[in-house]
A and B are shown apart, each in its own frame.
Chain A
Amino acid sequence: MKSPLANFLEILKVLTKHEVDFIVVGGVCGVFHGAPITTFDLDILRATDEANAPKLLGALDELEGRSRLHQKVVKPNHGHLKARGHLLLNTRFGHLDILATIGKGHDYDDLIQQAKTGSLQSISFRLLDLETLIKTKEEVGRPKDLAVLPVLRATLREKG
């Protein structure tokens, strides 16, 4: 089966069109800040309040979001969002991971003050600042997080 062409900008456009409250985190966030790293999915930290759920589900319906853990088609629903875990999805524009927390349990409300505003073409969205992205990866300390930390730290220093 052919992989869908990754187009994270289109995913961001659909999320903003549906007025979803989210912060871009993870590797794509690092790339936005200028880090020369590669990742295969777009990670977003979602607001977990009741008002955000229908907006997120509407966006995921338009994106044709499906669990990538299943062979059969499993669409995200309200129950999945209430569980506050990670939703690992395929969409028609590539892989999208929707997270309720990052680092040591930080949620959207904890990190909204550490978010910057990114503007691309016609849209604006929030992305985690580079200092906090580094901090959350240090907190988790998994090998995959530790592996990227030297590049993120060097990027922060080069930005000055």
Chain B
Amino acid sequence: MSDALFFPMVAPGERLPPVYNEDGVDLSLIRWMLSLTMEERLLVLQDHINTINMIRDEITIS
């Protein structure tokens, strides 16, 4: 299935770099990370860890 069919925000005929590679890896995330500085990449990771830890520490599921 082409990206244009799969993603409704992509106009028919609009040519964009492929989003997924053959392993199903989201290349748009990689391109976004590569656009960041090393420090910004580290902050992204730390924010993820701290958010997940906060949820794990405080969540109650009933």
CA distance A7 to B47 in the complex (A): 9
Q: Mark B1-40, 1 if CB is under 8 A from A, else 0.
A: 0000000000000000000010111110111111010110
**SS class of chain B's interface: helix, strand, loop or mixed?**
helix
Please name the residue on chain B nearest to A9 by beta carbon.
B42
Of the listed residues B39, B45, B46, the one surrounded by the most CB atoms of chain A closer than 10 A to its CB is: B45
What does DSSP make chain A's interface, helix, strand, loop or mixed?
mixed
The 10 closest A-B CB pairs, nearest first, are A150-B23, A3-B53, A36-B29, A6-B49, A34-B34, A154-B25, A34-B33, A36-B33, A31-B45, A158-B30
Q: Which chain A residues have a beta carbon within 8 Å of chain B's beta carbons?
A: 2-3, 5-9, 28, 31-32, 34-36, 38-40, 94, 118-121, 150-151, 153-155, 157-159
Chain B residues in contact with chain A, CB under 8 A?
Answer: 21, 23-27, 29-34, 36, 38-39, 41-42, 44-46, 48-50, 53-54, 56-57
